[in-house]
A and B are shown apart, each in its own frame.
Chain A
Amino acid sequence: MSLSHEREDALVQKLKDNFPADIKETNIIRRARLEVTVAPEKIKDVAVFLRDKLGFDHPNGVSAVDYNRESRFEVVYHISSISIKEMRDLVLDLKESVPRNAPRVGSLVSVWSGVENYERESFEMFGIIFEGHPRLEKLFLTDNWDGPPPLRKDIRFPTD
């Protein structure tokens, strides 16, 4: 198995050609692992481009990370391609940063319907609001949970 980055470099080039001003940062972690950071206003256009033109049709999940020392949340969409067999091992992390004190982003449910549950979980665990999400309410926590979003870094729970 070749360890070169040609495929990943070609993808990055196509993205930069089509969105010259909006791709903030790219990083090839290793072969088949690629990170692309986009401005939150443009992430939906980039997502539609990835789905329709580059064949990324399969959401693997959505993570939210709390970088509290930098006062921001990062929402990461992990996407793959299933229909293009040679690209099945590639996972592209589509990232966007949101300020920690006003976390609002647009939801990508209209692009990949499978991200609905992950965005809902990021809402309840971190407090990030996804505008346009069909059902933004608690998923896993107790129905009468009145505490803070539990996965934030500054929240600690007392142990017995």
Chain B
Amino acid sequence: MSAQRSAQDQDPVATLAEGLSIWVGKLSDLVKKVVDTGPIRNVINWARMYSLWPVNITTACCSAEFGAASGARHDLERFGVLPIGSLRQSDLIVIEGTITKKMAKRLRMIYDQMALPRYVIAMGDCAMSGGLFHDSYSIVNGAHEFVPVDVYVPGCPPRPEALEQAIIMLQEKIRRSKVYEQG
């Protein structure tokens, strides 16, 4: 008896909540559509592309050229790229160099922990396809095996100028993309 009455009591609240959520969902769709057209989208994309903060990660030997690129002569910070400590504040992961099976699991965990939107640059031949070590027993032949990659940078290792070109290409890609493309 009491169960039936509490069920009856919950009903109007439940229907009200359901109606509200549908209405909020429709509102958020409308907001997304408004944001994705015109000037608001340009502003948001401008902010995103000029402050790409990569995760502090140095996978293998390509990290020497990433370090040189962040250094005094090739200063990546003028593109807005600043390696920062926390994963949740990063929006770029540069997978430099050979990816071993032991590390691939952890790289996927790191990728999952990053907040959206997040971008991936596969730097070096090893991150593209296994490279020089393609016949080794302990590596994964390419970063695309476990994360979606946005830009590939060939080279063994790629020069810092090539990495800068990759950042510029990624910035162009962000400029052209929708704001809510990744969810």
- Which residues of A are at the interface with B, using a C-beta cutoff of 8 A? 140-143, 147, 150, 157, 159-160
**B100 and A142 contact, CB distance less than 8 A:** yes
Choose, from B4-12, B19-27, B130-138, the stretch at the interface.
B130-138
User: What secondary structure prevails in chain A residues at the interface with B?
Assistant: loop
Once A160-B130, A160-B141 are accepted as A-B contacts, the answer to whether A143 and B102 lie under 8 Å apart by CB is yes
Find the residue from B100, B130, B137 having the highest chain A CB count within 10 A. B137
B141 surroundings in chain A (CB, below 8 A): 160
Enumerate chain B residues within 8 angstroms of A141, measured Cβ to Cβ: 102, 138
Chain B, Cβ-Cβ closest to A156: B137
Does B173 have its Cβ within 8 Å of any Cβ on chain A?
Answer: no
The answer to whether A160 and B102 touch across the interface, beta carbons within 8 angstroms, is: no
Q: What are 8 sample pairs from A and B whose C-beta atoms fall under 8 A apart?
A: A140-B138, A141-B102, A141-B138, A142-B101, A143-B102, A159-B134, A160-B134, A160-B141
Bound-state Cα–Cα, A90 to B118, Å: 55
Q: Beyond the given A142-B101, A142-B102, A157-B137, could you list 15 further A-B residue pairs with CB under 8 A, ordered by the A residue number?
A: A140-B138, A141-B102, A141-B138, A142-B100, A142-B138, A143-B102, A147-B137, A150-B137, A150-B138, A157-B135, A157-B136, A159-B134, A159-B135, A160-B134, A160-B141
Q: Which residues of A contact B137 (CB under 8 A)?
A: 147, 150, 157
Interface string of B114-155 (1 = CB under 8 A from A): 000000000000000010001111100100000000000000
Chain A min CB distance to B61 (Å): 17
> Which chain B residues have a beta carbon within 8 Å of chain A's beta carbons?
100-102, 130, 134-138, 141
Residues of A within 8 A of B100 (CB): 142
In the assembled complex, how far is the CB of residue B99 from the closest CB belonging to chain A, in whole angstroms?
A: 12
Which of chain A's residues have a CB closer than 8 A to the CB of B135? 157, 159
Complex alpha-carbon distance, A141 and B102, angstroms = 7
Q: Quote the shortest CB–CB distance from B128 to chain A (angstroms).
A: 13
Top 7 A-B residue pairs of the complex, sorted by shortest distance between their CB atoms: A159-B135, A142-B102, A157-B137, A142-B101, A150-B137, A160-B141, A143-B102
Bound CA–CA A142/B130 (angstroms): 17
Shortest C-beta distance, A73 to chain B (Å), equals 19
CA–CA, A150 to B137, complex, Å? 8
In the complex, how many angstroms separate the beta carbon of A151 from the nearest chain B beta carbon? Answer: 9
With a cutoff of 8 Å between Cβ atoms, the chain B residues found around residue A150 in the complex are 137-138
Residues of chain A contacted by B101 (CB below 8 angstroms): 142
Please name all residues of chain A whose beta carbon is closer than 8 Å to the beta carbon of B138 when the two chains form the complex: 140-142, 150
Residue of A nearest to B100 (CB): A142
Smallest CB separation, B124 vs chain A (Å) = 18
CB contacts (< 8 Å) of A159 on chain B: these are 134-135
The docked-state distance in angstroms from the alpha carbon of A135 to that of B111 is 33
User: How many Å from the CB of B166 to the closest CB on chain A?
Assistant: 25
Tell me the complex Cα distance, A4–B134, Å: 46
Among residues of B, the one whose C-beta sits closest to the C-beta of A157 is: B137
Nearest A residue to B141 via CB reads A160
Complex Cα distance, B135 from A140, in Å, reads 17
Compute how far the CA of A160 lies from the CA of B130 in the bound complex, rounded to whole angstroms.
Answer: 10
Q: Which B residues lie within 8 Å of A147 (CB)?
A: 137
| A29 vs B137: C-alpha distance when bound (angstroms) | 34
Q: Considering residues A140, A143, A159, which has the most beta carbons from chain B within 10 angstroms of its beta carbon?
A: A159
